[in-house]
């Protein structure tokens, strides 16, 4: 077995090459729970180190196959046993004709969905659907179930069981979203599927994550109770993990809107980020949401994660800030470039977030993948603790700068920002028409003495097209007239100093209310 290059090898501070490899979960108990196995090659000669590595990999792969709970031989044997068992069980049953219009079982639907979208959706998306089916069936104590046997009572029982097990509300919501997508797929493909999706409309995330920005003031209650002709609009804005930039930006927007109009009360909701915000705007859980430009485009056009189910009603109020790709690692790791993360244990962002998407795009350009690097989904806030306690070697953010979590990390231990090479940046920019060159100015984070070259994307404040035009006009007007206040609230909003930044070169259409305001201000040209 020969592996070219320096895969699975990294140079220690004393110049000796180290062998490093990711430990699969089913073997970690044999290594004291560790996620990475490291062993010195005992040499500074790269050719000897590669020879050492190649022999280690042969033995390592042998051990993996030996202890792997689901090897090919085991799968074949189980399949053969199952086959004979099925034949014995059903050999005397009458022949039943299969019809395309029959109601499918959940496992069959999962496999059919994966086959239909294998070339149009990412492996991570398909694996999420498979995992959701697995958890759901385990919860209800069945090996499989027909779709017509799944009702809201059964789904509610599933939710309540997960809550008793202290499963994170966002995780449960993600499972429901995946299961709901499978059900919608069945509705498009089969006859006699009940129109009401039992996995939709539970509002789990909204109920458990919405955080009021501030309580109702007495004058608002007075408006609500005594002035029926003046409507008090209570709105919810979707953000992201509290350790990133979307959350404080959303907080600033909520504060400005609530503080400048007595008829507006804006609540703040944490989420998994752009994808979740789009879905929740679509289903009515969120009135507004912060959405990365590439996700907004995919949703509107019905591509990538939204293939087959475009969100054509998604509209923009305007761009509010730019998200920048930033990698940070402790200085003790002795790495300076992103491609040097090979063999390390790194956080790419919350599952399904634009942080994860941008991280995987960047890592691909740098020659890194799950075969040579351990990629983990962590929230911004959780990643800081994990780096400090040694579970992670580096963390990625894709947010407006400065990111609170990165500032916090660099304040607790000496860190450095990792660089992209010019060639890597060119590959990254070519991967998406929405990525642009950007810089992280020197002094943005503790210990950062040089400006860092990276890439970025616009983040939009989005709503549904059905939102009242006058209400959107009012929101747009308040935000435009409060640009200085917003900029002072968070440094990432500095782009708002350029009025054209807000409404120019957006990937989705403006809401008519916003378009009307920008036209009146001379920021948009009339036909």
**For the segment 312-332, what is each residue's pLDDT rounded down to a tens digit?**
999 999 999 998 999 999 999
Same domain, 329 and 443: yes
pLDDT band at 269 (very low <50, low <70, confident <90, very high): confident
Domain that holds residue 272: 207-321+459-520
pLDDT average, residue stretch 419-427: 95
The pLDDT assigned to 22 comes to 73
pLDDT average, residue stretch 203-226: 52
Q: Provide, rounded to the nearest whole percent, the portion of the chain with pLDDT above 70.
A: 84
- CATH number for 397: 3.40.190.10
How far is 160 from 463, CA to CA, in rounded Å?
31
Residue 168 lies in a domain: yes
Same domain, 502 and 449: no
The pLDDT assigned to 189 comes to 84
Q: Among residues 171, 202, 233, which one ends one of the domains?
A: 202
pLDDT average, residue stretch 405-422: 93
- State how many domains the chain has: 4
Residue 96 lies in a domain: no
Same domain, 263 and 230: yes
Per-residue pLDDT tens over the stretch 161-191 = 888 887 777 778 878 888 988 888 888 888 8
Q: Nearest-CA neighbor of 349 among 254, 275, 408, 284?
A: 275
pLDDT band at 98 (very low <50, low <70, confident <90, very high): very low
| Least confident residue range of 33-37, 322-326, 330-334, 456-460 | 33-37
What DSSP line would sit under 226-247, residue for residue? H-TTS--EEEEEE---TTSSHH
Helix, strand, coil % over all residues of the chain, rounded to 5: 50, 15, 35
- CATH number for 150: 1.10.150
Residue 247 lies in a domain: yes
Helix (H, G, I), strand (E, B), or coil: what is residue 55? helix
pLDDT of 34 higher than 60: yes
The pLDDT assigned to 176 comes to 87
What DSSP line would sit under 245-294, residue for residue? SHHHHHHHHHHHHHHH-TTEEEEEE--S-HHHHHHHHHTTS-SEEEEEHH
Same domain, 150 and 270: no
Q: Among residues 436, 458, 480, which one ends one of the domains?
A: 458
Quick check: 294 and 507 in contact, CB under 8 A? yes
pLDDT of 205 higher than 60: no
Same domain, 125 and 156: yes
Same domain, 248 and 193: no
400, with CB counted inside 10 A (0-12, 13-18, 19+), is buried
pLDDT band at 228 (very low <50, low <70, confident <90, very high): very low
Residue 94 lies in a domain: no
Per-residue pLDDT tens over the stretch 336-391 = 999 999 999 999 988 777 788 899 999 999 999 888 899 988 877 788 888 998 88
Same domain, 344 and 386: yes
Residue 394 lies in a domain: yes
Same domain, 287 and 331: no
Same domain, 314 and 331: no
The pLDDT assigned to 525 comes to 65
Same domain, 473 and 512: yes
pLDDT average, residue stretch 261-270: 84
Same domain, 306 and 407: no
pLDDT of 423 higher than 90: yes
pLDDT of 10 higher than 80: no
Considering only residues 47 and 337, tell me which one the structure prediction assigns the higher pLDDT: 337
Residue 173 lies in a domain: yes
- Estimate to the nearest angstrom the gap between the alpha carbon of 31 and the chain centroid: 30
Residue 161 lies in a domain: yes
Q: Provide, rounded to the nearest whole percent, the portion of the chain with pLDDT above 90.
A: 32
pLDDT average, residue stretch 61-88: 62
Same domain, 264 and 191: no
Question: Largest alpha-carbon pair distance within the chain?
Answer: 83
Residue 299 lies in a domain: yes
């Amino acid at each position: 077995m020969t592996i070219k290059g320096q895969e699975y090898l990294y140079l220690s501070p004393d110049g000796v090459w180290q062998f490093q490899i990711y430990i699969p979960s089913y073997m970690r108990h044999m290594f004291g729970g560790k996620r990475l196995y490291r062993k010195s090659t005992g040499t500074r000669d790269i050719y000897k180190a590669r020879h050492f590595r190649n022999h280690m990999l042969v033995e390592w792969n042998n051990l993996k196959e030996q202890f792997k709970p689901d090897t090919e031989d085991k799968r074949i044997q189980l399949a053969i046993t199952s086959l004979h068992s099925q034949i014995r069980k059903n050999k005397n049953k009458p022949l039943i004709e299969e019809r395309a219009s029959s109601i499918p079982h959940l496992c069959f639907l999962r496999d059919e969905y994966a086959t239909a979208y294998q070339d149009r959706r990412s492996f991570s998306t398909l694996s999420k659907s498979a995992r959701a089916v697995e958890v759901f069936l385990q919860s209800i104590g069945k090996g499989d179930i027909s779709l017509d046997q799944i009702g809201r009572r059964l789904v509610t029982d599933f939710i309540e069981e997960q809550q008793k097990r202290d499963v994170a509300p966002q995780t449960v919501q993600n499972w429901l979203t995946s299961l709901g997508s499978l059900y919608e797929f069945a509705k498009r493909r089969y006859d006699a599927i009940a129109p009401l999706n039992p996995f939709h409309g539970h509002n789990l995330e909204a109920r458990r994550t919405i955080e009021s920005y501030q309580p109702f003031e007495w004058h608002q209650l007075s408006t609500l109770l005594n002035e029926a002709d003046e409507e008090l609009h209570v709105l919810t804005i979707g953000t992201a993990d509290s350790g990133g930039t979307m959350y404080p930006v959303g907080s600033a927007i909520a504060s400005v809107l609530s503080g400048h109009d007595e008829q507006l009360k804006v609540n703040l909701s944490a989420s998994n980020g752009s994808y979740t915000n789009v879905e929740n705007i679509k289903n009515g859980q969120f009135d507004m949401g912060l959405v990365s430009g590439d996700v907004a485009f995919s949703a509107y056009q019905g591509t990538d994660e939204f293939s087959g189910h475009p969100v054509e009603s998604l509209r923009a109020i305007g761009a509010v800030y730019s998200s920048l790709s930033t990698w940070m690692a402790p200085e003790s790791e002795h790495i300076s470039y992103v491609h040097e993360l090979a063999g390390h244990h790194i956080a790419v962002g919350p599952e399904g977030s634009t942080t994860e998407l941008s991280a995987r795009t960047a890592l691909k350009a740098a020659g890194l993948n799950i075969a040579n690097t351990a990629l983990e989904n962590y929230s911004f806030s959780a990643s800081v603790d994990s780096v400090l306690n040694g579970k992670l070697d580096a963390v990625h953010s894709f947010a407006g700068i400065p990111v609170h979590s990165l500032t916090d990390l660099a304040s607790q231990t000496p860190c450095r920002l990792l660089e992209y090479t010019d060639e890597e940046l060119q590959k990254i920019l070519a991967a998406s028409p929405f990525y642009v060159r950007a810089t992280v100015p020197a002094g943005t984070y503790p210990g950062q003495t040089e400006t860092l070259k990276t890439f970025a994307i616009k983040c939009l404040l989005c709503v549904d097209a059905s939102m009242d035009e006058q209400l959107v006009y009012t929101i747009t007007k308040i935000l435009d007239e409060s640009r200085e206040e917003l900029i002072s609230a968070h440094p990432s909003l500095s782009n708002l100093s350029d009025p054209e930044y807000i409404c120019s070169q957006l990937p989705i259409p403006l809401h008519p209310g916003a378009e009307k305001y920008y036209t009146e201000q001379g920021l948009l040209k009339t036909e």
